């Protein structure tokens, strides 16, 4: 197994096969509508659209989906961005604009009113060093964002907290399918349990149209652009929920997830500055924008005055600590030579180059497997002040043997539609309207 772990000042490994990505860079687009910041002689861009990207459609939203750019174009856009925003002031001005456009593109402008969460907490189980409860809260009135709450048993409060977001899995055709679905998968359970053993309170949350939300809206709405809107909003409300717990330290909140859950992770970190640490896994790319409507089905990446690849959105977390986990068999294969150096440069503008790291697994593929979890555990332990020894053996190797993988039926809040509260909404259109009612 070839593992590359680039931390802070460490130099990203240069791979000869990628030299062509950086050889013929696109011309930097002129900055339109520039203004001068007060007290500064440097123009801050009002509009930035790099040259060479595909033209926007004449009508309808300007979506950037799947491999919207080639790897060469993606690398060139990052280089152009570094030239267009040469210092912290310039980058921050543009970053603020991108955050606004993501909020608007995601359908969350203005921000919905925060309503009481009214959490439902059920069925506490005790395991080796941690407990698990089945939890749901109302992210909007009548819609329940569901998941599992993992709590440490042996660590003293206040605890750090982590939002754990899962990636895409197969749909549900029969009850047995839940074992390989969403937050119930082995990798999702183990990382949440491992972090809890280390001393963190972890909330593992369903995607929209996954897990327990199937009882409310079914599975098909996950393939619509409402999924992005609800997943961003649910993640923000998950931070609200964790922050409301008496034993949680609101200054030590993190997020991690893989694939589509990685998209959720860097979108949450970009939009909610309460997230102190982020670990997006196998998703940060300069040219791949996500293959599901929940990731790229709304115009968050591009508008009339902005363009931002997923690597640029991830950079909005700067200067807060971030570990980017990548591999050699998907769209994150170029991270050590392309995206990670870009992130180092952005973090360097804040004097925080040491706050960004990359764990690269050249021989591995698109997952959140044991080696990727091990890298995450070590980073989270350092940045959140957790007890790494709680998941190590006597040699210092990561040891997950004390973590229990539960059957899905033990973890569900709502086993069927009849177990939902009487006022629960029962279709996606009603959920969408309930959210819009909070935006007036």
CA–CA separation, 73 and 94 (whole Å):
20
pLDDT at 295: 86
If one compares 24 and 146, the residue with the highest pLDDT of the two is 146
pLDDT at 6: 53
pLDDT at 58: 85
Residue pair 229/139 in contact (Cβ under 8 Å)? The answer is no
**Within 13 Å, how many C-alpha atoms sit on residue 171's CB side?**
10
pLDDT at 350: 98
Q: How confident is the model at residue 30 (pLDDT cuts 50, 70, 90)?
A: very low
Q: How confident is the model at residue 80 (pLDDT cuts 50, 70, 90)?
A: very high
Residue pair 358/333 in contact (Cβ under 8 Å)? The answer is no
What percent of the chain shows pLDDT beyond 90?
Answer: 83
Residue pair 135/147 in contact (Cβ under 8 Å)? The answer is yes
pLDDT in tens, 246-269: 999 999 999 999 999 999 999 999
Neighbours of 330 (CB within 10 A): 16
Residues in CB range of 153: below 8 A, 6 or more apart: 126, 129, 130, 131
pLDDT in tens, 169-198: 999 999 999 999 999 999 999 999 999 999
In the block, tokens 């089905």 appear at: 297
Residues in CB range of 105: below 8 A, 6 or more apart: 61, 298, 299, 300, 301, 303
The closest of 181, 183, 179 to 164, measured between CA atoms, is 183
Count of residues making up the chain: 440
Burial of 357 (0-12, 13-18, 19+ CB in 10 A): buried
The closest of 1, 11, 81, 3 to 340, measured between CA atoms, is 11
Domains and CATH numbers, the chain: 120-418 (3.40.50.1820)
């Amino acid at each position: 197994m070839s593992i590359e772990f680039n931390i802070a000042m460490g130099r990203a490994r240069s791979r000869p096969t990628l030299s062509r990505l950086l050889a013929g860079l696109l011309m930097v687009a002129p900055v339109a509508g520039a203004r001068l910041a007060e007290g500064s002689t440097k123009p801050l861009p009002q509009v930035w659209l790099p040259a060479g990207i595909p033209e926007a459609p004449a009508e309808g939203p300007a979506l950037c989906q799947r491999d919207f750019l080639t790897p060469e174009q993606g690398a060139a856009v990052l280089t152009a961005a570094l030239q267009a925003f040469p210092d912290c002031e310039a980058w921050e001005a543009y970053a603020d604009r991108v955050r606004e456009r993501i909020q608007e593109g995601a359908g969350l402008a203005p921000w919905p009113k925060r309503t009481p969460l009214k959490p439902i907490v059920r069925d506490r189980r005790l395991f080796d060093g941690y407990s698990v409860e089945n939890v749901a809260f109302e992210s909007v009135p009548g819609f329940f964002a569901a998941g599992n709450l993992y709590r440490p048993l042996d660590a003293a409060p206040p605890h750090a907290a982590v939002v754990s977001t899962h990636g895409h899995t197969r749909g549900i055709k029969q009850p047995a399918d839940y074992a390989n679905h969403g937050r119930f998968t082995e990798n999702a359970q183990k990382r949440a349990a491992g972090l809890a053993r280390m001393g963190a309170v972890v909330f593992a949350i369903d995607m929209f149209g996954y897990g327990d939300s199937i009882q409310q809206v079914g599975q098909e709405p996950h393939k619509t652009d409402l999924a992005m809107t609800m997943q961003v909003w649910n993640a923000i409300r998950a931070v609200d929920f964790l922050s409301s717990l008496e034993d949680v330290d609101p200054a030590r909140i993190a997020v991690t997830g893989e694939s589509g859950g990685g998209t959720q992770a860097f979108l949450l970190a970009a939009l909610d500055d309460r997230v102190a640490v982020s670990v997006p896994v196998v998703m940060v790319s300069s040219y791949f924008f996500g293959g599901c409507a929940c990731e790229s089905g709304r115009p968050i990446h591009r508008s009339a005055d902005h363009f931002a690849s997923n690597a640029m959105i991830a950079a909005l977390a700067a200067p807060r600590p971030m570990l980017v986990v990548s591999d050699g068999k998907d769209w994150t294969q170029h991270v050590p030579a392309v995206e990670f150096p870009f992130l180092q440069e952005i973090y360097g503008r804040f004097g925080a180059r040491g706050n960004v790291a990359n764990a690269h697994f050249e021989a591995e593929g698109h997952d959140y497997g044991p080696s990727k979890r091990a890298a995450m555990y070590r980073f989270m332990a350092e940045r959140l002040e957790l007890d790494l020894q709680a998941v190590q053996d006597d040699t210092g190797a990561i040891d997950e043997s004390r973590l229990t993988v539960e059957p899905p039926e033990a973890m569900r809040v709502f086993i069927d539609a009849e177990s939902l509260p009487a006022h629960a909404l029962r279709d996606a259109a009603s959920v969408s309207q309930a959210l819009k009612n909070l935006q007036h």
